[in-house]
Structure 1
């Protein structure tokens, strides 16, 4: 899978993740990683650290 932002710029870089907000594929140059904490006991302990992948556009918010 290729990065959506790179594709729009005319290149084809391999995606490293998918934006949790819009679902766009993102490469290592366009990915935005946000740290957070889990609010409920899903798979880990309460208040465990998490990472959220976002694209360049959704990562500005």
Structure 2
């Protein structure tokens, strides 16, 4: 079974419920965060904004690195 990477760094043993879409590390419910991105479809043009945002799972480190600390998640 996949273990939570962040918990293992703290000498805890927790099962992962998902993986970060950026770095790929396994995360438990305590460490995984859902981030909704507005998605655009169409290649190369025209770009169409999808009617519903798609949820993505990320770790706190990748949220801070890609979206910045100003994001509310």
So what's the TM-score if we normalise by structure 2?
0.69
Equivalent in the alignment of 1:34:
35
Number of aligned residues: 57
Structure 2: which 5+ residue stretches go unaligned? 43-48, 69-73
Higher gyration radius (CA): 2
Structure 1: which 5+ residue stretches go unaligned? none
Q: RCO higher in 1 or 2 (8 Å CA, sep ≥ 6)?
A: 1
Structure 1 consecutive aligned stretches of length 4 or more whose deviation exceeds 2 Å: none
So what's the TM-score if we normalise by structure 1?
0.80
User: Cα RMSD (Å) of the superposition?
Assistant: 1.4
What is the DSSP-based 3-state SS (H/G/I as helix, E as strand, rest coil) of the residue aligned with 1:10? coil
Residue 40 (structure 1) shift: 1.1
